Amino acid sequence: MPRTARDVVFVDGVRTPFGKAGPKGLYAETRADDLVVRAIRELMRRNPSLPPERVDEVAIAATTQTGDQGLTIGRSAAVLAGLPKSVPGYAIDRMCAGAMTAVTTSGAGISFGSYDVVIAGGVEHMGRHPMGEGVDPNPRFMTDKLVDPSALVMGSTAENLHDRFPQITKERADAYAVRSQQKVAAAYAAGRIQPDLVPTAIRSAEKGWGLATEDEPPRPGTTMESLAGLKTPFRVAGNVTAGNAAGLNDGATACLLAAEDVARELGLAPRMRLVDFSFAGVEPEVMGVGPVPATEKLLARNALTMDDIGLIEINEAFAVQVLAFLEHFKIADDDARVNPWGGAIALGHPLASSGVRLMNQLARLFEERTDVRYGLTTMCVGMGMGGTVLWENVNWEGAK
């Protein structure tokens, strides 16, 4: 039987507060699967008109799929969250773009007609599972010179970007990082970040139980002076520091996607419409440029230019990576369209979960900016990739 493509909408999205990875971080003694379960339960609580049995799939990403991030975490999290046993689930890995891929893959299933409603998201507990844990790269990567040795060290790939774009200086990267911290602080003060945060129980053998209610990584007092003296761990006298890059973090995200007609049937209010998405590959040693070809391909396919894009949520893995994207598209470093409420340099980047954080913020921004029709969520991806998703504002005033 022929199938007709259906419009896919982003209904709602939540996340746990992000914590710092390590023995002193918020979630040092909290399980990764419990983080994503908390997010799924909150999604269902916030959308009471959705019968749990109408969820057709749970797609959850994790970069390190072992321990409490293993066991086909989409399915195990669905069961732990109390969804009916009839609801299936699966796990995804596209490194940093895991949650983004969970959305695009399951969203494509909705468009195709295989699903009506899905939950998609990601989790990363970098304190329990450091990046690269258990990885055994094939020796042919090096012996056959398939990639540069620096390709497997994300900080080194960022230093390579500084080499490729010498006009992107450390001072320029630091200035971008300071603005990110300032924007997050302003967004918190205005109550814009908090609506999508799920208060999350935490435990400590020493201190007992507590509640995480806000992100741990932001450093609102960051200045150019405080960043200037930081060490450059990936290269002597380099450019990449802990101040102009995202940290190592723990956290989870989840969102609710549905066919637009089904959302109406169930009384779910769409917040933005999925228009298209694109992934692209680049040389792994400069993986930070990945968003450029992914975005170029996406804009060309939809007969759009960057002038048509009113909001851009780009993951700040490294300041240099964001600046390379902006420079390519001739966008000013401080363009108001870009990460208006700050980004991962301040908020944190728990790898596979971050794609949905970008979507959460874009959806909130769309509600305030009814003058904006189109927005992007975009990110670089380890091993030399980039991903970009094009969204349409369902509240765009031009549609009325």
Whether 255 is a known active-site residue: answer no
Whole-number Cα distances in Å, 142 to 132, 187, 284, 319: 17, 45, 12, 28
Distance from C-alpha of 94 to C-alpha of 65, rounded to nearest angstrom: 11
Catalytic member of 129, 162, 255, 380: 380
Exposure b/e, 194-222, CB count within 10 A at least 16 = b: eebbbebebeeeeeeeeebeebbbbbeeb
Catalytic member of 125, 129, 162, 349: 349
H or E stretch including 234?
none
Could you tell me which residues are beta bridge partners of residue 276? 390
Catalytic member of 96, 125, 129, 162: 96
Q: Which of 164, 200, 245 is nearest to 32 (CA)?
A: 200
Whether 349 is a known active-site residue: answer yes
Q: Which of 226, 234, 243, 386 is nearest to 319 (CA)?
A: 243
Distance from C-alpha of 339 to C-alpha of 334, rounded to nearest angstrom: 10
58 within 8 A of 64, measured Cβ to Cβ: no
The two tokens of residue 162 are 């500084």
Phi and psi at residue 89, in whole multiples of 5°? -165, 165
The two tokens of residue 230 are 């930081």
The two tokens of residue 41 are 């339960």
Distance from C-alpha of 20 to C-alpha of 215, rounded to nearest angstrom: 9
The two tokens of residue 23 are 């023995």
Question: How far is C-alpha 96 from the geometric centre of its chain's CA atoms?
Answer: 7
Distance from C-alpha of 277 to C-alpha of 295, rounded to nearest angstrom: 9
CB atoms under 10 Å from CB of 168, counted, come to 23
The two tokens of residue 60 are 């959850």
CA atoms within 13 A on the CB side of 313: 24
Catalytic residue ranges: 96, 349, 380
